Amino acid sequence: MKRFEGKVALVTGAGSGIGRATALAFARENAKVVVADIAVADGEETVRLIKEGGGEAVFIKADVSRESEVESLIKATIDTYGRLDCAHNNAGINGDLDSVTTCTEENWDRVMGINLKGVWLCLKYEIPRMKKQGGGAIVNTSSTSGLVGAPGVPAYNASKHGVAGLTRTAALECAKIGIRVNAVCPGTSRTPFLQRLIDAGLEDYITGLVPVGRLGEPEETANTVMWLCSDESSFITGAMITIDGGLTAQ
Ligand code: NAD
């Protein structure tokens, strides 16, 4: 299936994990892909993997928490490929393991800056471009942690709830201009992001929390992002889609 022939897709945090899986999936379906990340070697590796598979991609370094860099990223996307049809605003960090009473101001600001402000900045510069073209589809990465509480990561949890609100508001603001805005809510996906907990010997514990009895794979979230960016989901906007093996159904 080549649902994205002639389309241009931007993925932030595309140097690793879920973002890399989405970038590769877009390229397999013939989109031209802008791979954005703060980590240069990782972003370039994603481009190499795409090209190795016969796809088309370019790496653009951008820190999503900085307005000037996000503005330049969208401009560079247009300068390179002439348009922007799909965006996966995915870059995120989990921050420190702490609590509401021990979380530092520095951790709070860093997590909010990347996970929440970063998504807002991407929307701010993507939407006008898509509007000019007459439409587009945007998917933000929230989390199961954007739906329920998560003791141990208060800043992360608040940032992902923030992404949920921002997604709904952007969806409503864009409802009449042909741009759909949705969010994916992955839970416990096997990426470098989760590796820290696996390395700490917590894999069995985490797996035990998931009703289907296994961790998710980044490709399972990527498949959902692709569907949300395709015409198959043409009546879906402002939705939070869980990819969590039943975690939040409990
Ligand atoms: P990951 O650590 O493998 O990838 C995150 C990528 O974001 C990295 O390449 C990193 O360099 C990049 N990044 C970090 N800060 C950035 C910045 N300021 N600007 C641009 N890029 C930046 O993590 P992942 O598991 O693939 O996570 C991707 C998204 O999925 C995150 O938003 C995360 O919160 C979310 N998520 C992951 C899980 C999971 O279980 N893995 C669960 C729920 C939500």
Whether residue 2 is contained in a domain is answered as no
How many independent structural domains does the chain possess?
Answer: 1
Closest to 35 measured CA to CA, from 87, 94, 71 = 87
Whether residue 91 is contained in a domain is answered as yes
Whether residue 62 is contained in a domain is answered as yes
Question: In whole numbers, what is the pLDDT of the chain averaged over residues?
Answer: 97
Residue 93: CB within 6 Å of ligand 1? yes
pLDDT digits (tens, 9 = 90+) for 208-224: 999 999 999 999 999 99
pLDDT digits (tens, 9 = 90+) for 131-174: 999 999 999 999 999 999 999 999 999 999 999 999 999 999 99
CA dist., res. 144 & res. 186, Å (int): 6
Q: Record the tokens describing residue 97, joined without a space.
A: 């393991």
**Max CA-CA distance within the chain?**
50
| 54 Cα–ligand 1 center, Å | 25
In a 3-state reduction of DSSP, which class is residue 141?
strand
Average the pLDDT over 109-130 and give the result.
98
Average the pLDDT over 29-49 and give the result.
98
Whether residue 50 is contained in a domain is answered as yes
Q: Name the burial class of residue 100, with classes exposed (0-12), middle (13-18) and buried (19+) by CB atoms within 10 angstroms of its CB.
A: exposed
- In this prediction, residue 202 carries a pLDDT of 87
Of all atoms in ligand 1, which is nearest to the CA of residue 65?
Answer: 18
Whether residue 250 is contained in a domain is answered as no
Q: Rg for the chain (alpha carbons), in Å?
A: 17
Whether residue 249 is contained in a domain is answered as no
CATH number at residue 38: 3.40.50.720
Domain extent for 233: 8-243
Average the pLDDT over 14-27 and give the result.
98
Cβ proximity of 23 and 45 under 8 Å: no
| 233 Cα–ligand 1 center, Å | 24
Whether residue 3 is contained in a domain is answered as no
**What letter represents residue 211's amino acid?**
P
Whether residue 248 is contained in a domain is answered as no
Decide: pTM greater than 0.95: yes
Catalytic site positions: 156
**What letter represents residue 88's amino acid?**
H
| 90 Cα–ligand 1 center, Å | 6
Please give the share of the chain, as a percent, with pLDDT higher than 90: 94
